[in-house]
Amino acid sequence: MSDRYLPYAADAEQSLSPDELQVLQRQFERELPRPRVQTKFNYAWGLIKSTSKREQRLGVNLMHEIYNEHEERKRECLYYLGIGYYKMGEYANARVYIEQLLSLEPGNAQARSLRELIDEKVSRDGMIGLAVSGGALALVG
């Protein structure tokens, strides 16, 4: 990965501490059954930035709800859905959301840098997969 993408793509690599996430969760729970959009967004964002796949999945689900219910938040949701799917290793889904964002904002540096991260990860994982299958064939052959 080249350094020129790091400042923009940092969201894909950084996590919140459990204490920071707990603050967002408490606020969200206090506002149930109808949390404010910003509170829900903050909690979804925090969950997506978690290191737990279960929490990331919950964050993506909440972000989808916001995306579907609040037109004014679609741009932000597209980006964080891309981040969420990237962190869960679902690179095809991540790419779909980032491409949607780039179709709306072709110059969006965050989205372009995340697309680059996705492409690099897919390429790297593909090369590892080829090496593993090549090694298995060598053992069988």
Count Cβ neighbours within 10 Å for each residue of 7-45 and write b for 16 or more, e otherwise.
ebbebbeebbeeeebeebbebbeeeeeebeeebbbbbbb
pTM of the model: 0.84
Q: What is the pLDDT confidence band of residue 8, given thresholds at 50, 70 and 90?
A: low
Model confidence pLDDT, tens digit, residues 75-84: 999 999 999 9
Phi, psi of 76 (to 5 degrees): -65, -40
Residue 34 per-residue DSSP state:
S
Please determine, for residue 114, whether its predicted confidence score (pLDDT) is greater than 60. Answer: yes
CA distances from 107 to 72, 75, 135, 136 (A): 19, 13, 42, 43
pLDDT at 136: 40
Higher pLDDT, 138 or 94: 94
